[in-house]
Structures are given as structure tokens and as C-alpha cells.
Amino acid sequence: MRKLAALAAATFLTVAAAPVVHAIDHGKGYPGFCKDDKGVTVVIDFQQLGGAAIVRCNPQSTAGTGLDALKGAGFQVAGVQRWGEAFICRVENKPAAADQIPINGRENYRELCIDTPPAAAYWSYWHAGNNCAWDYSQWGVKNRQFLQGGFEGWSFSLNATADTNPVPRVAAVRPGTEGKACNAVDEPKPVSNDPGETQAPVQGRQPQATPEAEQQATPPPGAPTGALPPPKPRASATARPKANDPSSNIAFSGGENAEDVNEVIKRTSGASDYAPWAAGGAVVVLLAAGFFVARRRKRANES
Amino acid sequence: MIELDHVGFRYAGRSEPVLRDISLSIGEGELVLFVGQTGAGKSTLLGTINGLVPHFTGGHLEGDVSVAGVSTRSRPPREFAHLVGVVGQDPLAGFVTDTVEDELAYGMEQLGLAPQVMRRRVEETLDLLGIAELRRRALRTLSGGQQQRVAIGSVLTTHPKVLVLDEPTSALDPTAAEDVLATLARLVQDLGTTVLMAEHRMERVIPFADRMIYVPGSGGVLDGTPPEVLRDMPIAPPIVQLGRLAGWDPLPMSVRDARRRASSLTLGSPPARTTTAGDVLLTASGVVVRYGPKVAVRDVDLSLHAGEVLAVMGRNGSGKSSLLWAVQGSGPRQGGTVRAGDADPKSLSSSEGRKLVGMVPQTASDLLYLQTVEAECAAADAESGAEPGLCRGLLDRLAPGIDPAAHPRDLSEGQRLALVLAVQLSAAPRVMLLDEPTRGLDYTAKAALAQMIAGLTAEGRAVVVATHDVEFVATIAQRVVVMAEGEIVSDGPTAEVLGGSPAFATQVAKILGEPWLTVADVRAALPQEVR
Amino acid sequence: MTSYFLPRDLHPAAWWVWALGLAVAATRTTNPWLLLTIIAVAGYVVVARRSEAPWALAFRLYLVLGAWIVAIRVFFRLVFGGAEGSTIILRLPEIPLPAWAAGIRLFGDVSAESLLGGLYDGLRLATMVICLGAANALANPKRLLKAMPPALYEVGTAVIVALSVFPQLAESVLRVRRARKLRGGNGKRTQVLHSIMIPILEDALSRSLQLAASMDSRGYGRAGLVEARQRVLTGAMMIVGLIGVCVGVYATLDGSTPRFLAAPVLSVGLLIGLVGFRMAGQRVQRTRYRPDRWHLPELVVALSGLGVAAVLFVTSSVDPTNLNPSLIQLSWPLLSWGPLLGVLIGVLPAFLTPVPEPPHAALEVVAS
């Protein structure tokens, strides 16, 4: 019984050591596309999960992983319990644990983020250089390096196959660079089956900075790009397919009004502020009662 | 009830049959006592009753055995479970479950009796055997006598028509054996089942026995009423021996019987028991043995003289064995000193220690591990550093004529004891300790053991025998020590200690009074013409 | 009502159902509040309702085992990649590993999130182990064997006999080793081993022969009157049923097999197997002495365990985040009333069941 008490105490201490709740860090990154070729633009397309797409910029000018890009842009993500953040299962609390995801054949599926999500309902991971078409990432989120001035995309894939994974419906085109050539080089594919293999952060892979002079007038960030006139098609020297026309972008926001995920969870789950105290109290009461019963029994046996 | 029709039996691989052309007819409600030396074929004969022989043991059975009209040929022993209840020698080895109640119910469960019937019979049996307070106890924690009573109860619950008891007391100490036999005596009178019993403490059973069957070992049997059979049977209890000596006819079958006749006996003066106290070979003082909080031996002093046999008596758990092990040096000893010669055997290595004090433990066969008697002897010579052949020589003196190629397990209890004794004597200790050597020995084997011990003392050794067996002590011991709760409660010459207490009185003492202990005493004192 | 609370030992299966209910509930959550409450509930019921039998004292071993599991889980997070999450609380030097060990990381940064993840995960496993420990402490394993269906009766007897062999063997070893000293006991190691093993094995063998003879003569394995045809039919049904269950389980777990192999084959196989089992049991003409029966208290115990599991199943579909606290942002784990009250149902057996029968020794004290 004493061991149990020690265990309980240890758990309390560890939990107590965790920092207090803090609101979503809107201070991380900024809404909309990146303003220049520093940093990486992250596009989240919720697809069937509903809600407007979110585009935010992580202005980090140093090298970083796809996960750094997500977090640095201010997104709140959750990994599965089994793999941790190496496998993102929720972005901005979507799909929420209580949501039913209509997978074909399993209409009542809920994503509990415990094991790898099913192939029919997961966040597909994309990347693109500026002005380039989206590419399905061959790398895990912790294993690839984001492209300075490039794009990272997340698009929820529901009931799709490897060939029909939905591309993020926001073109990887920074406002003001429409019609420019896609300068990105093909990124190397993983050479091994090792899940821990990481991309080498090669400087040569960074696209050449687009000369400032070539840029057209930059619209204010966050402005609906759909309103812009279509850029003139330009011949590109690279082999990479070009990005879609930004005019076909779906509606998106910078996530300015997104609520803190923890707050949402707390509100939707019906959690009570008092329940943890009640639980702790119940544990203490049961331990004390157990202790007294054991002692009384011991005395009875001895007498 | 039971018909044996020209039954013969031969174990597989043996040319000599154990049973030869035996025809018996045992009626309902009869109590039949089977006697004979160990290994003569009693167990085999009893085993044929429910088909364990030959279904379980193998071998070749001739003739036919039938119980209540059912032949054992046609069915395995388990189909006789409702007809024949079998109780063996070692109750613990036969237990299937682990608590008293479950064990009592086990047989009934196999027969598929209704739960209410089982419940009722378990309660009845608990009362019948006087073990009601043990009902929830674990079988392992019971004493030997209690275990054997549970074993008997566990076959009684199925209400068998025939009860077969194969030496039910041979593995028990005399107190427990008395217990079990008293219970059986009551059962036999109350229940009226047919009982077939092999038992070497026959004097307890003879008064109830309708018939007695002597199995001499030659294959045939001698069948008759107890007095008829006992008249010329080589093995006999002291009462019968006394009756033969005095020429009483019919032979007395109980102590009361004999006591009435004894008044006609004219005896001289009882022989003086010589106590030849030689040199002191071993002294122990203040010996303390404890197992955790339990004190097994409490501050005991002991001295052993050359040429003397000391008997250590006392009930189970009184500390006899612990004392012997402590004196030998192999067992634990928390306090006191032991000096044998001029050394403490505990301070020496075990191979040096056994040259001072030898010991034969309770289960003597634990010391044997080789395939043949010859190999055991050779190993003993090597272990003792003696010249080859010493052990064999000792063995031939103790028990002549043992086949050197025989497997030690195939020897009789007595022969095996002799072998272990020879192995231990090859180290030439001057003190020999025997822990319960008489357990499982019949009268003949005990007499042989008594001779072995006499031989040892004649060579100037000191012998200690821990035993419950009063008759045996009366035959061999010069001095008796009685232990209780780890302490020595009385210590003195045999005649004094045994004669003075009703609990330790021998059969002859019960008949003739205090100074007379054994038949040999009486024979020595009888007028010449009667002798 | 008074007879309801008369001291008696409950059916062991009831305790197992209760404990498995708690264990299943534990699998549904990593919420430390709930897991700790489950442990406290199990612990209290054990303290309140265990008997004095030796197996009942093993519960604290399970608690120690649980603590070990938690400690090892957290320790592993520390050693192998504890950098999951962004709150780094400990910076350890990372040990470079050769190329063939790629994917494995030794030490390096340790984040609070990953330690907490290890703690929650370990706590869940520990809770399940402790629940099983509670069942072991409360249910008499031998009575559980007795409660097996008739078709498995002989297996149960064999297990009981095998269990009783161990103390006997230990006894023999002690005795023979002590006896060995009397023969000097010096010699080659193999010879010493030989000299100890032979008597012990001979002892064990002769004992088992005696036991077999005793069981045989007491009716163990009485076949009764069974026609050969029926025996073949029973055997065939059991085998067909078993194959059906195997195929069905495989198909259920492997999504790529045709669906008609899953639930239909599984249920049909189960049905055939059960019928065969039932027939095998019926031909066994054996009865039980004082069989444990299901009365109201057993029902209360079993239902309270099932209730806990059911509540956590229901609430996990309503507010799963409650049960699996998010580690996105470090925070106190959330908890709502539903699952907490559900878990507390499990403590009911500590109050609503009769106490176990006092041990034999205590009975004697009272009687004298």
C-alpha cells in the first residue's frame, strides 16, 4: 500500500512540474503567405473535415523540419501515441476526437490518435517550391527539411488512394510572384527503409532567390488571391510542373480567429475543473480507508 | 463377494511367479487379515482385487478375479471405484486434491453422485473418523495419522462394498498407527463392509479378524482362522511368541487374553540387564537447535559410551531428529558444544565429520544413487578412503547374500537399510546414529536390524537409535532418553524408563508386569523343563 | 437480507469478471486521474475483501511490478528519444551511434511531453497488471479450476496435481541435499549433481506412480457409457468449430480477407465448437462437491466491473479527449464527471459483498 502512495505522489509531482495552460501562440508566425523568400508558408486544407483552409507563414530563416514549419507557423498539432509527432493525426484539433469520420465501410470511425490512422483517413503531407505544383512528400514530417521560400501543405485525405490523394487546394504561389518559373529541384527520395532517415539539409537545394525586380506588385498579405488577375504563363526551364493558377484557390484565412485548441477540447469534452480534484480526493480517501482496514485486520489477526 | 479362481501372477520379465494357483472365496462382511513378510506378495495379491494388478502394474495374470460378479479382466480399475476402495501405505502420495473436504469428495465426484448426497456423506465421514475439525485444513499440514485417516475416509465416502487396506500403518509412527487401527476397528464393527487388510501390527487387528491369510512368499497362501494360522507362522507378534513359549493353546489373541493365562505362568527372577559403560565416545552439552522462532532442541546434554545402545524416544516433533542431526554435525546447531574424540564434528568437513560420527537418516535411500549394490559399495570405499572391498565385507556381515548386481531400489527395506549402514560404516565412525530405522520393517527385518546393532556395539561402537518402537527399544537398548518439546524429560536404563510408564510399556510388560520387557527375558527366566 | 452478508467466499469467476472489467476500462484511457482512481479502487477492494490465503498476499507484488513498469517506461523515454514535443526539460549529450543503428537515438534532449507520454502509457499498462493482480488476490485459483466446464475437468485435475508437485519436489531437494552431506559429498561436480538428482527423480517418479494408481482406483477418467459414434461426432464438432473460430478471427483482424469469412464463419465456428464442448461435457458423468454458485453478491461484483468498462466505452465515444489527454500543449489532464463516477462504480464490491470466510486458524480460536 505504501508503494501505491509513493507511485501516486510521484505522478502528482511529474504532472505538477508541467507548465500551466497557455493560450495559442499567435505570436508564432503570421497569417497568410510569407512576404518574401525567407521562411516557409504552411497551407492547411481541411477538405471534407470542413472549415476554411488556413495559410500561415513561419518566418524562420534557418533550416528546420516539416514539424518545425508547422509549429513555427503557430499551428497546434497532435501526433499519434504510438509514433509521437512523427505522425501527425490532428491539425488544429481536426479531426477532433469526437468527430465521426465517414470512412467507407467504417462510417462511425473516430480518430483517437493512438495508433497509425487508417489509410482512408489521414493528413496527407505535401510540399512545393514557390510557383511549383504540390508534391506528395516521400518523407516523414520530422525527416524532411522545409524549403526556404517554399511551401508545406497538409490536406486531409479521406477515402482516397495513393493516386487520388487530394492536393491542397491553395496553389503554392506567393502573392507577387505569380507566373514566375518554378525553380525548385527534385528532392531526393529516401534511400533506405529506415523511418529515421533524414534529409540532408543541402544548401544547394535552396532555390535561387528570385530577383526583386522581377516581382510584380505585391498584394497585401492575406488578401484573397482569387481576386487577382491570372498571371501570364511563362516558359520554365525546369522540369518541375508549375503551380496551379492561384485564381482557383479555395477560400482561406490566416487562422486569426482560431480558438486555442486546449480551450476547445475542454469545452467540447465537458471536462470539469472540479473532477480532477474529486479524482485526487477519491484516490486519497480510498488509500486512507485501505490503510485503516488493513491495520484493523492486522490487529484482529494478532489478537 | 470376492472370488479368486486359480489365480497366478508373474511380473513382466520375471520367470518366478509371485502368486501361484490361489483360490479364495471371501464372503460379504468378512474381515480378512493378510500377513507375510515384506515382498512376499501381499500387495500383489491385494492389488488383484480391483484390477490394479495387472492393469496398472503390467505382468501376466492367470485365473480370474471377480468382485460382486464382475471380473477384473474385463474392466480397468477405475470401473471398480464404486465397488472397491483402496488405501495404500503412504497416504500423502495418494492424495489428489489439497484439502480434507475436497479429498473426501473426490471419489464421489468421479462417480457422479448428487451434490446433496456428497455433502451428507462428507459430513458423516468427517464425524465417523473424528476429523471434523480438520475439514478445511491443507492435507500437507496434517500429521501422518490424520493423513491416513483422511485417506481411509476418502474411500469410505463412495460406500464401497470392499475395503482394501495395504499396510495402512507401515509408514506411520506407533502413536499414529494406533490411532488409525483404533479407527479401523470401530469402522469394521459399525459398517459391515468386507475388509481386506495387510498389517504387521496384527495383534491390534486379530481380535476382529474372521480369517487370516498368510502369504509365505512361495506363491501359495495359508488360509484359516487367526489361531490356526498363527500356530506355525514364522513371523508373530510378541503375544503369540509368548503364548508359544508358554505352550498356551489356543494361542492368546489379545493382551487381555494373555493376561488371564499369565497367572498360571511360573517364572524365575527377571534377568538383570547389563549396562556395560565403556569409554565416553561423544559428549554433547547445551545443544540448542532452532528454526526461526521455533526451538527444536532446548539445551540438551548427552554422552555416549562405547558398546552402548541409546534409544531416543518421544512423539513426532519432539526434537529427536534435530538432535541427531546436530550431534552428527551436518544439521544446524545454534548453541552448545559437541566433542567426539577430541574434535567438534561440525567444525570438520563433511567427509572428516563422518569418520567421527556416522548417521543413517530417516529416508535411508536418499543416500543411494548408483545402479548396483556393487557400485554403491565401491563409491563408499572411495568416499571413505578405505581399501576396496571394505564396504562389501561390512554388508556381508550385516546382511549376507545380497546380489552385488541388484539395483538398490529392488532390495527389501531391511536389505537397503543394511546397505546404507554398510556405506556409512565404511568411514569407520565410532558413533553411529540411526534415525527411525524401524519404519516400514516387519518383525523379521526388525530382528535382523537388532542383530546388526548388537554386532556394532560388540565392536565397541556407540549406537543411537531414534525411534517410536517400544518393542524394538526393549530388545536392543541399554539406555533410553525420552524427549518432549526439545527437552530430555527422562534418561535412564531401559527397564526403568520403559517399565515405569504405561505409555511405553511393551506387550510383554502389559501381560506380565513391570520387570518383564521382552519374550527373550521371559525365555531366560522360564524353568528349564518348560523351555 | 441478513443471509446476503453472511461470510462466504464468492465465486472466483465473479472477481475475475470484475477485475477484467476494470482492466478493460484501463485500456480505454491514458488519463492519469482515471488510471490512479482505478488502481485505488482495485487496491481498496482487495484490502477489504481478500482472504488470508497465501495467494491473497501476492497483491503487493503486483503493485511493485506496476511501479516498475511505469519507471521502466519513463526511463526508456529518457534513453531512447525523449525529444517528442517542444518543452525540453533536460539536455543530455546524445551518444552517436554507428550507421547500422540508424533510427535509434541514445539520450539527447528530453522533453516533458515525451516523459509524460511514457508516464501515461506506463501507468495504463501498470493499471492493467494491477487489476489482474487484484483478481488473483481475491479469487481462489483452485476454486476457479474447479469451476471449469465439465469437458475440461480432467485438465483441471492435472493442473492441480502438477501444482502440488512443486512443494514436494522442494522438500525432496532439501532432504536429499542434507543427506548427501552424510556421505562426505566431495567429488566431481557432475557426480555430486548426479547423486542429488537421482534420488530426487526416483522419489518423484515413485510418488507419481503411486498417485496414478490411487487416482485410477478412485475412478479418475471413468469413461461411462459412450458410443464410439458419438465420441467421433463430438471430436469432429470440436475440431471443426476450432478451425472455424481460427479462420473467423483471422478474417476479422485482417481487413483484406473477404467479409463473409469474418463474422459469419466466426459465429458458426463458435456455435459448432460450443455444441461439441457441451456434448463432451454431457458425456462426463461427474458432479461437483459444493460447487460455487452465482448468487446476488456475485452478480453485484461482476456487474460493477462490467459497469466500469461500459461507462468508459460509452464516454470514450462521447468525449474521447477526456480519456486520452492531449500532449499537444502541456497542461493538467482534463477530466469530466462521467468517466470518474463510472470508475468509482468499481468500488461497490468492497461494501456490497459478504466478507470472505475466516481462515481455519481463526475458526479454531473462536471455537475454543
Verify A-C touch: 3 or more CB pairs within 8 A: yes
Same-domain check for residues C97 and C46 = yes
Q: Do C322 and A1 touch (CB under 8 A)?
A: no
Beta bridge partners of B492: B480
DSSP class of residue B272? P
Q: Is the dihedral of CA A154, A158, A164, A168 positive or negative?
A: negative
Gap between the Cα atoms of A285 and A279, Å rounded = 10
pLDDT value of residue B438: 85
Chain A within 8 Å of C324 (Cβ-Cβ)? yes
Choose the weakest-confidence range: A268-272, B157-161, C271-275.
A268-272
Is residue B67 within 8 A of residue B84, CB to CB? The reply is yes
Whether C14 is in a domain gets the answer: yes
Chain C within 8 Å of A261 (Cβ-Cβ)? yes
Which position has the grid cell 469474418? C262
Same-domain check for residues C88 and C186 = no
pLDDT tens string C171-190: 888 888 888 888 876 666 77
Same-domain check for residues C157 and C138 = no
Gap between the Cα atoms of A59 and C181, Å rounded = 83
Mutate which: B79, B134, B289, B366, vs C, most C CBs within 10 A: B366
Please tell us whether the domain made up of B280-494 is placed in CATH 1.10.150.120. Answer: no
* Same fold: B2-235 with B280-494: yes
Chain A within 8 Å of C363 (Cβ-Cβ)? no
Same-domain check for residues C239 and C252 = yes
List the one residue out of B26, B20, B25, B16 whose CA is nearest residue B8.
Answer: B20
Residues in chain C: 368
Closest approach of C206 to chain A, Cα-based (Å): 40
A237's grid cell: 526551364
pLDDT value of residue B531: 47
- Helices B413-425 and B390-398: crossing angle, nearest 10°? 140
Closest approach of C33 to chain A, Cα-based (Å): 6
DSSP class of residue A17? H
Neighbours of A124 (CB within 10 A): 21
Number of domains in chain C: 3
Burial of C274 (0-12, 13-18, 19+ CB in 10 A): middle
Task: Write out chain C residues lying below 8 Å of B90, CB-based.
Answer: 210
Strand pairing report for B280-291 and B294-305: antiparallel
Q: What is the ipTM of this complex?
A: 0.85
Task: Write out chain A residues lying below 8 Å of C327, CB-based.
Answer: 78
pLDDT value of residue C124: 92
Edge-to-edge strand list for the sheet holding B2-10: B19-26, B2-10, B60-67, B70-71
B272's grid cell: 538383570
Higher pLDDT, B112 or C281: B112
Residue A250 CB contacts under 8 Å (≥ 6 apart), including other chains: A45, A52, A53, A169, A170
In this model, does residue A6 exceed pLDDT 60? Answer: no
Task: Write out chain C residues lying below 8 Å of A278, CB-based.
Answer: 337, 340
Chain A within 8 Å of C41 (Cβ-Cβ)? yes
Choose the weakest-confidence range: A292-296, B220-224, C191-195, C216-220.
C191-195
Task: Write out chain C residues lying below 8 Å of B370, CB-based.
Answer: 198
Task: Write out chain C residues lying below 8 Å of A297, CB-based.
Answer: 47
Pick one of 3.90.550.10, 3.10.180.10, 3.40.190.10, 3.40.50.300 as the CATH number of B2-235: 3.40.50.300
Please give the interface size between B and C, counted as residue pairs whose CB atoms are below 8 Å apart.
Answer: 163
Cis upstream peptide for B54 (omega within 30°)? yes
What element of type H or E holds B162?
strand B162-166
**Maximum Cα–Cα distance for chain A, whole Å?**
99
Nearest to C340 among A22, A197, A275 (CB): A275
Q: Do C338 and A197 touch (CB under 8 A)?
A: no
Whether C155 is in a domain gets the answer: yes
pLDDT value of residue C330: 67
Full 3-state SS string of chain C: CCHHHCCCCCCHHHHHHHHHHHHHHHHCCCCHHHHHHHHHHHHHHHHHHCCCCHHHHHHHHHHHHHHHHHHHHHHHHHHCCECCCCCEEEEEEEECCCHHHCCCCEEEEEEHHHHHHHHHHHHHHHHHHHHHHHHHHHCCHHHHHHCCCHHHHHHHHHHHHHHHHHHHHHHHHHHHHHHHHHCCCCCCHHHHHHHHHHHHHHHHHHHHHHHHHHHHHCCCCCCCCCCHHHHHHHHHHHHHHHHHHHHHHHHHHCCCCCHHHCHHHHHHHHHHHHHHHHHHHHHCCCCCCCCCCCCHHHHHHHHHHHHHHHHHHHHHHHCHHHHCCCCCCCCCCCCCHHHHHHHHHHHCHHHHCCCCCCCHHHHHHHHC
Task: Name subunits touching C (3+ CB pairs < 8 A).
Answer: A, B
Read off the amino acid at residue B315.
R
Is residue B89 within 8 A of residue B27, CB to CB? The reply is no
Whether C341 is in a domain gets the answer: yes
Same-domain check for residues C44 and C78 = yes
Helix (H, G, I), strand (E, B) or coil at B19: strand
Chain B within 8 Å of C188 (Cβ-Cβ)? no
Q: What is the pTM of this model?
A: 0.70
Nearest to A21 among C44, C52, C331 (CB): C331
Closest approach of C80 to chain B, Cα-based (Å): 47
Chain A within 8 Å of C106 (Cβ-Cβ)? no
Task: Write out chain C residues lying below 8 Å of A112, CB-based.
Answer: 316, 320, 324
Which C residues 219-248 touch B at CB under 8 Å? 219-222
Please give the interface size between A and C, counted as residue pairs whose CB atoms are below 8 Å apart.
Answer: 177
Q: Do C340 and A294 touch (CB under 8 A)?
A: no
pLDDT value of residue B259: 87
Chain B within 8 Å of C259 (Cβ-Cβ)? no
- Chain centroid offset of residue C93 CA: 41
pLDDT tens string A57-90: 988 888 888 888 888 888 888 888 777 778 888 8
Residue C221 CB contacts under 8 Å (≥ 6 apart), including other chains: B78, C154, C215
Q: Do C332 and A18 touch (CB under 8 A)?
A: yes
**Backbone Cα Rg of chain A:** 25
Q: Do C86 and A77 touch (CB under 8 A)?
A: no
Closest approach of C234 to chain B, Cα-based (Å): 21
Same-domain check for residues C313 and C233 = no
Q: Do B354 and C184 touch (CB under 8 A)?
A: yes
Chain C within 8 Å of A293 (Cβ-Cβ)? yes
Gap between the Cα atoms of C311 and C34, Å rounded = 12
In this model, does residue C359 exceed pLDDT 60? Answer: yes
Q: Which domain, by its residues, includes C351?
A: 3-146+292-367
In this model, does residue C68 exceed pLDDT 60? Answer: yes
C-alpha distances (whole Å) from B319 to each of B322, B325, B354, B415, C176 are 5, 10, 21, 28, 20
Query: b/e string for C136-155 if b means 16 or more Cβ within 10 A?
Result: bbbbbebbbbbbbebbebee
C-alpha distances (whole Å) from A267 to each of A260, A262, A273 are 11, 9, 11
Confidence of residue A202 (pLDDT cuts 50, 70, 90): very low
Same-domain check for residues C301 and C248 = no
Q: Do A290 and C52 touch (CB under 8 A)?
A: no
Gap between the Cα atoms of B32 and B35, Å rounded = 10
Q: What is the mean pLDDT of chain C?
A: 81
Whether C339 is in a domain gets the answer: yes
Closest approach of B364 to chain C, Cα-based (Å): 8
Q: Do C222 and B110 touch (CB under 8 A)?
A: yes
Gap between the Cα atoms of C287 and C275, Å rounded = 20
Q: Do B115 and C288 touch (CB under 8 A)?
A: yes
Confidence of residue C23 (pLDDT cuts 50, 70, 90): very high
Give the Cα-Cα-Cα angle B43, B47, B52 (nearest 5 degrees).
140
Q: Do A262 and C121 touch (CB under 8 A)?
A: no
Same-domain check for residues C33 and C128 = yes
pLDDT value of residue C84: 66
Neighbours of C259 (CB within 10 A): 11
Neighbours of A189 (CB within 10 A): 8
Nearest to C160 among B84, B97, B105 (CB): B97
What mean pLDDT do residues C359-363 have? 52
Helix (H, G, I), strand (E, B) or coil at B55: helix
List the one residue out of A22, A60, A25, A39 whose CA is nearest residue A258.
Answer: A25
Chain C within 8 Å of A213 (Cβ-Cβ)? no
Is residue A130 within 8 A of residue A192, CB to CB? The reply is no
pLDDT value of residue B315: 80
For B317-444, where are the E strands, in sequence order?
A: 335-340, 357-360, 431-435
Is residue C55 within 8 A of residue C132, CB to CB? The reply is no
B394's grid cell: 561390512
Which C residues 56-95 touch A at CB under 8 Å? 60, 63-64, 66-67, 70, 84-87, 89
Confidence of residue A229 (pLDDT cuts 50, 70, 90): very low
Closest approach of C42 to chain B, Cα-based (Å): 28
In this model, does residue C298 exceed pLDDT 80? Answer: yes
Question: Secondary structure of chain B: what % helix, strand, coil (to 5)?
Answer: 40, 20, 40
Query: b/e string for B300-334 if b means 16 or more Cβ within 10 A?
Result: bebebbbbbbbbbbbbeebbbbbbbbbbbbbbebe
Burial of B292 (0-12, 13-18, 19+ CB in 10 A): exposed
pLDDT value of residue C129: 94
Q: Do C215 and B118 touch (CB under 8 A)?
A: no
For chain B, domain boundaries: 2-235, 280-494
Task: Write out chain C residues lying below 8 Å of A114, CB-based.
Answer: 324
Q: What is the mean pLDDT of chain A?
A: 74
Tell me which chain A residue has its CA closest to the CA of residue C71.
A7
Gap between the Cα atoms of B87 and C214, Å rounded = 8
Please report, in angstroms and rounded to a whole number, the separation of the first and last CA atoms in chain B: 45
pLDDT means over runs of 10, chain B (531 residues): 91 86 90 86 89 87 91 87 90 86 91 90 90 86 87 92 88 76 81 86 80 88 88 83 85 85 78 73 92 88 91 87 91 90 86 90 86 89 86 86 86 87 90 88 85 89 90 90 91 85 82 84 74 47
Q: Do A265 and C321 touch (CB under 8 A)?
A: yes
For chain A, where are the E strands, in sequence order?
A: 30-31, 40-45, 53-58, 77-80, 84-91, 101-103, 106-109, 121-128, 135-136, 151-158, 252-253
Domain boundary among C167, C187, C217: C217
Tell me which chain C residue has its CA closest to the CA of residue B364.
C179
Same-domain check for residues C19 and C131 = yes
